[in-house]
Amino acid sequence: MNPSLQPFVRMQTLLRLLGVALLVLGLSACASAPPKVRSDVTAFHNWPEKLPASTYSFKLPADTDAASIEVQNYQNLIADQLARYGIDKRTDAGGGLRVSFSTQVGSREVKVREPVDPFLYGGYYRPWGWGPYWGPWGIPERQYNVEVFVRTLKLNIDDAAGKRLFETTVVSQGRIRELSAVMPAMIAAAFEGFPGESGKTRVVEIPLEQPLAAAPSTSKR
């Protein structure tokens, strides 16, 4: 290397490593914040100004086990939200509003790029940076794939005659595959600002009540 370029190279390396340190500090600050479930909420409704009754019952799909403790837990969460809006008389005798819901979990792989310490990952110096993990912005990085889970909640409210009054779809994505862990936040998101503006998708963030470990990633350096 040309001796005259050595001070410039040292300064360039120090600035890049400083950038890595600042990024790590930023990530640490984010990690210390309370975790939240971020959901896309889309609702359509013909909600009346005055409901004819405040009673309701749950209508389950034919393939749903009504005795399931998990299903009953979700029903209780929905009941708590309905009570916030004066719909607080649950009955199993029929009549009143009919509430139905369904859930689904899918997954997809996402490529992640993150800054790294070039010395830790065995990079080597070249005039244009450390290889082979030098990113496009002049910061050393690595790439790997993670499995992201797509969680979906669909919830409908019909009147006693079967007319649809309200329907909403809540979609969240994250590293937690257990639906039971994120469902309290997703149900809360479904009723945030109920009934809301019809036909508009909103982003709602609700704190995660009981954080769980994320699913293991498939690292590809």
Q: Would you give the distance in Å from CA 134 to the centre of its chain?
A: 30
Backbone dihedral angles phi then psi of residue 180, each to the nearest 5 degrees: -65, -25
Residue 56 above 70 pLDDT? yes
Give residue 151's pLDDT band: very low, low, confident or very high (50, 70, 90): very high
- Span 105-147, pLDDT tens digits: 998 888 777 776 555 544 444 444 444 455 555 566 677 788 8
Exposed, middle or buried, 40 (CB in 10 Å: 0-12/13-18/19+)? middle
- Span 176-209, pLDDT tens digits: 888 999 999 999 999 999 998 999 999 999 998 7
Q: Is the distance from CB of 75 to CB of 109 less than 8 angstroms? A: no
Q: What's the whole-model pTM score?
A: 0.69
Backbone dihedral angles phi then psi of residue 81, each to the nearest 5 degrees: -70, -40
**Would you tell me the crossing angle of helices 69-84 and 179-190 to the nearest 10 degrees?**
20
Alpha carbons 15 and 9: distance in angstroms, whole number? 10
Q: Which residue has the tokens 């036909």?
A: 199
Alpha carbons 182 and 174: distance in angstroms, whole number? 10
Token pair listed for 186: 């997703």
Minimum mean pLDDT among 9-13, 14-18, 70-74, 216-220: which range?
Answer: 216-220
Q: Which residue has the tokens 């005798």?
A: 93
> What pLDDT is attached to residue 153?
97
Amino acid sitting at position 221 = R
- 3-state per-residue secondary structure call for the chain: CCHHHHHHHHHHHHHHHHHHHHHHHHHHHHHHCCCEEEEEEEEEECCCCCCCCCEEEECCCCCCCCCCHHHHHHHHHHHHHHHHCCCCEECCCCCCEEEEEEEEEEEEEEEEEEECCCCCCCCEEECCEEECCECCCCCEEEEEEEEEEEEEEEEEEECCCCCEEEEEEEEEEECCCCHHHHHHHHHHHHCCCCCCCCCEEEEEEEECCCCCCCCCCECCC
> What pLDDT is attached to residue 201?
95
> What pLDDT is attached to residue 46?
93
Task: Name the β-bridge partners of 110.
Answer: 146
Q: What is the biggest distance separating any 2 CA atoms in the chain, rounded to whole angstroms? A: 88
